[in-house]
Amino acid sequence: MTQELREKLIDLLQTAYSAELETAENYLSWSVNLDGLHAQTIKEMLAKDVQVELAHARLLAERIYVLGGVVPGSMQLNKNQRYLQPSQEQSGIDYVVRGVVTAEESAIQHYRLLAEMAEGADPATQDLAVRLLADEEMHRREFTGILREIEDREVAAGRMSEEEKHCLTY
Ligand SMILES: [Fe+2]
Ligand SMILES: [Fe+2]
């Protein structure tokens, strides 16, 4: 593996590590914050996923270490998930479910890129990216199932048209 590729992979692993921690932070907060009639199931799913995303962060940290990189500290972590922030207006299940699907979709794209970059040069990093990709696809699937149900209800109530359904885009 060239030095250039090693640095690129470390960079992608660090970005993924940061995103996993941010995801864990937001899932933790929503696993407590969420209100509403059907909130309990989603809160439990999010609480369970906090542990999974933290486990992902640990695996990424170990891979960064093996490749000779530095696992970032808190001051070096990026924050990007504007779509999962608690606010007065956005406290509903719909908002959270859409936000979770967006977070998972973003992780999926990142792990696809990481797997592609590592292919042929770093099988262990590629293997890790593929394993995490499968987990995130499962998370996305679980939450798009719920999103579909929410949006079908919105359509039935005349608050949304078939074309506006977000679940169709994932
Ligand atoms: Fe993850
Ligand atoms: Fe996930």
Distance (Å, rounded) from C-alpha 93 to C-alpha 34? 7
The structure tokens listed for 72 are: 């970032």
Give the mean model confidence (pLDDT) for residues 80-88: 88
169: pLDDT strictly greater than 90: no
79: pLDDT strictly greater than 70: yes
What is the distance in A from the centroid of ligand 1 to the CA of 153? Answer: 29
CB atoms within 10 A of CB 101: 23
Q: Please give the residue that has the higher pLDDT: either 160 or 88.
A: 160
Q: Please give the residue that has the higher pLDDT: either 38 or 8.
A: 8
Q: With bands split at pLDDT 50, 70 and 90, how would you rate the model's confidence at 88?
A: low
What is the distance in A from the centroid of ligand 2 to the CA of 158? Answer: 32
The overall average pLDDT reported for the chain is 94
Distance (Å, rounded) from C-alpha 57 to C-alpha 21? 7
What is the distance in A from the centroid of ligand 1 to the CA of 138? Answer: 10
Ligand lying closest to the C-alpha of residue 54: 1
Split into its structural domains, the chain has a count of 1
CATH code for the domain of 124: 1.20.1260.10
What is the distance in A from the centroid of ligand 1 to the CA of 137? Answer: 10
The 3-state DSSP class for residue 123 equals helix
Instruction: Please check whether residue 79 lies inside any domain of the structure.
Output: no
Instruction: Please check whether residue 45 lies inside any domain of the structure.
Output: yes
Q: With bands split at pLDDT 50, 70 and 90, how would you rate the model's confidence at 90?
A: low
Distance (Å, rounded) from C-alpha 143 to C-alpha 145? 5
What is the distance in A from the centroid of ligand 1 to the CA of 160? Answer: 31
Instruction: Please check whether residue 76 lies inside any domain of the structure.
Output: no
Which residues have CB less than 5 Å away from ligand 1 (the ion)?
Answer: 20, 53, 56
What is the distance in A from the centroid of ligand 2 to the CA of 2? Answer: 31
Contact of 36 with 94, CB cutoff 8 Å:
no
What is the distance in A from the centroid of ligand 2 to the CA of 163? Answer: 27
What is the distance in A from the centroid of ligand 1 to the CA of 34? Answer: 21
6: pLDDT strictly greater than 70: yes
* Percent of the chain with pLDDT strictly greater than 90: 82
The pLDDT value recorded for residue 170 is 66
Q: Which of 105, 90, 92 is nearest to 23 (CA)?
A: 105
Domain extent at residue 164: 3-70+86-169
Instruction: Please check whether residue 75 lies inside any domain of the structure.
Output: no
Instruction: Please check whether residue 77 lies inside any domain of the structure.
Output: no
Q: Please give the residue that has the higher pLDDT: either 35 or 3.
A: 3
What is the distance in A from the centroid of ligand 2 to the CA of 136? Answer: 4
42: pLDDT strictly greater than 90: yes
The pLDDT value recorded for residue 91 is 61
- Integer CA distances (angstroms), 14 to 32, 54, 56, 163, in order: 28, 14, 12, 37
Give the mean model confidence (pLDDT) for residues 33-55: 93
Of the listed ranges 18-32, 50-64, 142-156, the one predicted with least confidence:
142-156
Quick: pLDDT tens for 99-126: 999 999 999 999 999 999 999 999 999 9
Distance (Å, rounded) from C-alpha 125 to C-alpha 10? 10
